[in-house]
Amino acid sequence: MTFYSDIPAIRNWLATVRAAGKTVGLVPTMGALHDGHLSLVRLAAEHVDTVVVSIFVNPTQFGPNEDFNRYPRDPDGDRALLEPIGVAAVFAPESHEMYPPGHATTVTVRGVTEGLCGASRPGHFNGVATVVTKLFNIVRPDVAVFGQKDAQQLAVIRRMTADLNMEIEIIAAPIVREPDGLAMSSRNRYLDPDERRQAAVIYRALEHGRTMAASGVTGVRELVAAVHDEITGAPAARIEYVDIVDPGNMAPVEDVTGEALCMVAVRFGGTRLIDNMMLIAG
Ligand code: PAF
């Protein structure tokens, strides 16, 4: 596994990969890797010959009061996890490589970015769309894999690749959960033991919503209220949103008649966690 930190070097290497007729998959990450990320890598490897993982804590997707500075960074741990699972290369640029002086372009995706995390984290998806566009242009992958946990991000990337005619297949990887149901996230390591124990309520609440929808409850108000009530049973939980949306465009739905995505963002102390689950009408 080779590490590249500068753009010309990884481009030269990728030229030799493509000259050998190999397909390339990209798994964009911000590092501090866990089993959820490894599942993305394994899924990419099912589709392509050569898997590239990017590790870059992207400053433009963090708001001024967010956790950019304390976001976990663990290059040795990341290397130890990626080496045994057949990753061909890691692209880990410094900030000045991605955003040199004079950088003045931002990619904005409208509509799908407007609610949910887009409303509570203004500018976040501009940063994501911009950095992912840059990573796509640098690596020029045949496929790219993103986790379903960041369902709105996935919808943004799908919209962007379609609108900008990017010839990249976007693959969604299922959410990987801890034994108690908490969705794996690099931010889980911020939780103290009590918050960590309480955070499993998110999964229980989503499961409750799923069971209600499957047993014939279609009203979004009733479903949202039930998920909300379950989460507030955990004293440390501070709900940012519970919404039920169309998984394609992230627009709120009124009734769950087919499939709809229940999306939540909850804070435990200073840690903001997101999760989601598909509700399928019974
Ligand atoms: O999901 C993430 O880790 C980040 O938002 C991504 C896609 C790597 C862009 O920085």
Place of tokens 């008649």: 257
pLDDT of residue 79: 97
Q: Mean pLDDT of all residues in the chain?
A: 98
pLDDT of residue 244: 98
Which whole number is the average pLDDT over 254-271? Answer: 97
Which whole number is the average pLDDT over 201-227? Answer: 98
Q: How far apart are the first and last CA of the chain?
A: 47
103 among known catalytic residues: no
Residue 54 confidence class, pLDDT cut points 50, 70, 90: very high
Residue closest to 90 by CA, chosen among 144, 10, 8: 10
Question: How many residues would you count in the chain?
Answer: 282
DSSP reduced 3-state for 25 = strand
Which whole number is the average pLDDT over 223-238? Answer: 98
Which whole number is the average pLDDT over 138-153? Answer: 98
Taking CA atoms, 216 is separated from 36, 180, 211, 220, 280, in Å, by 32, 26, 9, 12, 9
Which whole number is the average pLDDT over 112-127? Answer: 98
Which whole number is the average pLDDT over 255-269? Answer: 97
Residue closest to 265 by CA, chosen among 106, 62, 119, 53: 119
Which whole number is the average pLDDT over 155-162? Answer: 98
139 alpha carbon to ligand 1 midpoint, in Å?
A: 15
Residue nearest to atom 7 of ligand 1 (CA): 28
Which whole number is the average pLDDT over 125-146? Answer: 98
**Under 8 Å between Cβ of 51 and 25:** yes
Residue 257 confidence class, pLDDT cut points 50, 70, 90: very high
63 alpha carbon to ligand 1 midpoint, in Å?
A: 14
The tokens of 64 are what? 């001024």
Residue 193 confidence class, pLDDT cut points 50, 70, 90: very high
Residue 191 confidence class, pLDDT cut points 50, 70, 90: very high
Lateral strand order in the sheet of 143-147: 2-4, 89-91, 50-55, 24-29, 143-147, 169-173
Protein residues whose CB sits closer than 6 Å to any atom of ligand 1: 28-30, 58, 61, 128, 131-132, 150, 153
**Under 8 Å between Cβ of 175 and 275:** yes
Which distant-in-sequence residues (6+ apart) come within 8 Å of 50 by Cβ? 17, 22, 23, 24, 25, 88, 89
Residue nearest to atom 2 of ligand 1 (CA): 29
- The model's pTM: 0.98
